Amino acid sequence: MKSIASVIEETTPSGIAGAIARLINTGDLAPGDRLPTVRDLAADLGVSPATVSHAWQALAGVGLIVSRGRSGSFVRAERTTRLPPRSRHLTQQPDARLDLSTGTPDPLLLPQLGPALSRVARQAGTANYFDEPVIPELMAHLLASWPFTPDSITVVDGAMDAMSRTLDLVLRFGDRVVVENPGFPPLFDLLEHFGIEKLPVALDAEGIRPESLAEAMKSAPAAIVLQPRTHNPSGVSMTADRARELARVIRTSRHGADTVVIEDDHSGEISSSADVSLGTHLPDRVVHIRSFSKSHGPDLRIAAVGGPTELMDRLVARRILGPGWTSRMLQTILYDLLTDEVSVAQVAEARASYRHRQQSLAAALRTNGYDTAVADGINLWMPVADERDAVVQLAAGGIRVASGEPFQIGVAEPCIRVTAGQVRGDFEAVGALLAAAARR
């Protein structure tokens, strides 16, 4: 291989970082390879050591290289991790001026827990281990707010807990499942854990494209998993007309009667879009999941799941042999947050703030020559000229975004996911950096 200095055409921090990233991408620099010292490369390029140091920091920030003190800097080797394959790409890295990679809500926009905690009984307890798993007042609220009339509703420990438990009931090894492409990396990891073949379907501005679903239905899927609102990563929300059309595709398919639809409404309370569900048209085969993590706090670990009685009864029975139930104290706190006027107003304010942030960032991107629609929720999906270059260039500018590859199945379109909901201000500057990275 040529010397590293000879392949670096642009000697800015982002130019140096981008050239090194491409060498790692192509395999010219292998895991474990030692990089030149900052001073040596700076001398070869005729730049200051600080310039190379900034490039090294950007590469380390996106996980491409690692510093070992006096031993030098090395291309990071693949290592074992507590996270599954796609999910590990979503972990936070330190030292970002603005971390837009997380997909998490702005903690400043979550409702205050203090008042709700003060109204909860001081002692936690339950009359019987086999009491109903959902407290009556929360059950009544959920039934009144559900997008269709379900046979049964229960409460579990977050959306992915609901997803995992539902899939465990309906799938067998080797089954096929329809998934959105792009979609949510932990879901892809979960399906691979179950030994499931994924059938990717395409999206447009209204949700899953009907012709794409019709083609996938020919393969007799056991389940369809979709996000009805604030799709992660695209920010698309399904329209009522599209829900009706997708239901028609499923109903008229040769294999539709044997297919369970699982809806992951993970951000419903902060969505600016209508509450739309295929359960309105297919109530006997839709399992609808509603998480409160994005709106009320990820650490509450609460999601409701509703659907056919047979499935819900099996889910509840299986949980009795594990966690038993979701803490009734946490359920009481959630019910308080869902009904207290102040908390309801705080969530409404958060919903409006996220909408304003998406609109402001989209306007800044358009001002800087990057045309994009206003996304719903907290995430923005951006096609880019070169994914790795965009991630590295933004890291060099102090902004961390998520690489688009883990969100896609098959040949990946170069994209990045931006957690736009975390941008609290300075939209013009952030938009300019994102637009520049996208077209590089």
Dump pLDDT digits (tens) for 211-228.
999 999 999 999 999 999
Which of 339, 354, 386 is a domain's end point? 339
Q: Are residues 173 and 228 in the same domain?
A: yes
Which of 309, 324, 339 is a domain's end point? 339
Q: Are residues 147 and 99 in the same domain?
A: no
Q: Are residues 227 and 271 in the same domain?
A: yes
Q: Is residue 268 domain-resident?
A: yes
Is residue 121 scored above 70 in pLDDT?
Answer: no
Q: Are residues 241 and 279 in the same domain?
A: yes
Q: Which of 22-36, 300-314, 316-330, 344-358 has the lowest mean pLDDT?
A: 22-36
pLDDT for 123? 58
Q: Which of 18-32, 229-243, 292-306 has the lowest mean pLDDT?
A: 18-32
Is residue 79 scored above 80 in pLDDT?
Answer: no
Is residue 352 scored above 90 in pLDDT?
Answer: yes
CATH code of the domain containing 368:
3.90.1150.10
pLDDT for 21? 85
Q: Is residue 271 domain-resident?
A: yes
Instruction: Count Cβ atoms below 10 Å from residue 114 Cβ, excluding itself.
Output: 8
Q: Are residues 101 and 140 in the same domain?
A: no
Q: Does residue 385 contact residue 348 with C-beta atoms inside 8 Å?
A: no
**Higher-confidence position of 304 and 10:** 304
Helix-then-strand count for the chain, H and E: 15, 15
Q: Is residue 428 domain-resident?
A: yes
Is residue 208 scored above 90 in pLDDT?
Answer: yes
393 vs 128: CA distance, rounded Å? 57
Which of 312, 339, 366 is a domain's end point? 339
Q: Is residue 420 domain-resident?
A: yes
Q: Are residues 205 and 277 in the same domain?
A: yes
pLDDT for 94? 46
**Higher-confidence position of 207 and 62:** 207
Average pLDDT over residues 111-119: 86
Looking at the structure of the chain, the number of domains it has is: 3
CATH code of the domain containing 35:
1.10.10.10
pLDDT for 28? 86
What's the pLDDT tens digit per position in 166-175?
999 999 888 9
Q: Are residues 290 and 148 in the same domain?
A: yes
Q: Is residue 122 domain-resident?
A: no
Confidence of residue 66 (pLDDT cuts 50, 70, 90): confident
**Higher-confidence position of 345 and 66:** 345
Average pLDDT of the residues of the chain: 91
50 vs 11: CA distance, rounded Å? 12
Q: Are residues 322 and 231 in the same domain?
A: yes
Range of the domain at 16: 4-75
Average pLDDT over residues 174-187: 95
Query: Each residue of 158-191: b (16+ CB within 10 Å) or e?
Result: bbbbbbbbbbeebbeeebbbbbbbbbbbbbbbbb
Q: Is residue 80 domain-resident?
A: no
Strand ranges inside 222-357, DSSP E: 223-226, 260-265, 286-291, 303-307
H or E element that contains 181 = none
Q: Are residues 332 and 348 in the same domain?
A: no
Q: Is residue 127 domain-resident?
A: no
Q: Is residue 121 domain-resident?
A: no
Q: Are residues 159 and 103 in the same domain?
A: no
- In the chain, what percentage of residues exceed pLDDT 90? 72
Q: Are residues 293 and 367 in the same domain?
A: no
Q: Are residues 235 and 382 in the same domain?
A: no
